[in-house]
Every structure is written in C-alpha cells, then in structure tokens.
Amino acid sequence: MSFNRDEPAPANRFQADNANLIVSSHLHLLQRELLPARPNAVELAHALYHAPFVVLAHDTAPDPVFFYANLTAQSLFEMSWRDMVRLPSRHSAEPLQREERQRLLDCVRRQGYIDDYAGVRISATGKRFKIARASVWNLLDASGDSVGQAATFSAWEGV
C-alpha cells in the first residue's frame, strides 16, 4: 500500500484516509476508541494530528518508514513532519534498544496488538526518554490485511 506522506493540512483533509486507517484499526483490534467520535472524517483527522498524545505509524517495507507522526510526536522526537516521514522507524530507538523494539513489532504482527509497552526512545538531538503504557497495533485495510503498524502513548519522561 502506498501512503500519502504530505503533511496534514486543510488542503489534503488533514490526511483523513491515513487518520481513518489508524483510528479504525485501533478500534477494531483494541476494542476502544483512540479519539472520541467526530462528526466527519476531516474533523477526526484534524483532532488526531493535534492530539495531546503521540501517534505514529509506519508502513510494511522491509525497513519500515514512518508515514504518520502527529504534532506531539514531532515535538517529542524533535523532528519536522518532512524528516519524520522519511525516517525508518527503527531509528526512533537507540541501536541497543532496536532488538527489543523488533521483538515487540514481531509480537504485534502475530497477535494484532500489544498494550502497556514501555521502552527507551531517542530524539533527533539525542535526548533519551522512556515511554510507558504505549499501545502498538497493526493497521488493517478493508480486506483485513496488515498494511503497517501504529503506536500511541501519552506517558514519557527524560532519562
């Protein structure tokens, strides 16, 4: 699946298709809403992009690359949208943490999701932070095929 990697904005409906994929897959697999319902897809996409918690998503390339990072994620990882959506997602963890991160993603691929994940991540400027109570889930297309994975968390602290 090819993802639009243009930064969410009014002109592209705040990436409503990507936002819907993230939100609907979360609801389907975790059986709870990521965001309260909105009257239409554009308002939902706008709310996701401006949410006060981190939302990230990557594709299924052999070395998965982010295709979505809301404003909170961009701020925490100290990267612009343009830089985030070109970043292989493994680079969000330090080299020593990447093996643990890959085990997590393999588990999600098999089980559909994992809840209550914790780990250390690193920003573009080298700041390390520990995330807690993270959820990671598969992104499912209309046929139920996995087309990527997403993550969300609202708890982090510097280390």
Query: Which is more confident, 94 or 143?
Result: 143
Q: What is the CA radius of gyration of the chain?
A: 14
Give the whole-angstrom CA distance, residue 153 versus residue 28.
18
Residue 96 has pLDDT above 80, yes or no: no
Q: How confident is the model at residue 156 (pLDDT cuts 50, 70, 90)?
A: very high
Averaged pLDDT for residues 30-52: 95
Supply the DSSP symbol for 73. H
Angle at 36 between CA 90 and CA 31, to 5 degrees: 65
> Tell me: the pLDDT tens digits for 80-91?
999 999 999 999
Residue 159 has pLDDT above 70, yes or no: yes
What proportion of the chain, given as a percentage, has pLDDT over 70?
A: 99
- CATH superfamily of the domain spanning 10-158: PAS domain (3.30.450.20)
Give the whole-angstrom CA distance, residue 26 versus residue 58.
14
Give the whole-angstrom CA distance, residue 138 versus residue 11.
28
Averaged pLDDT for residues 117-131: 93
Closest CA to 44 of 33, 30, 54: 33
Residue 10 has pLDDT above 80, yes or no: yes
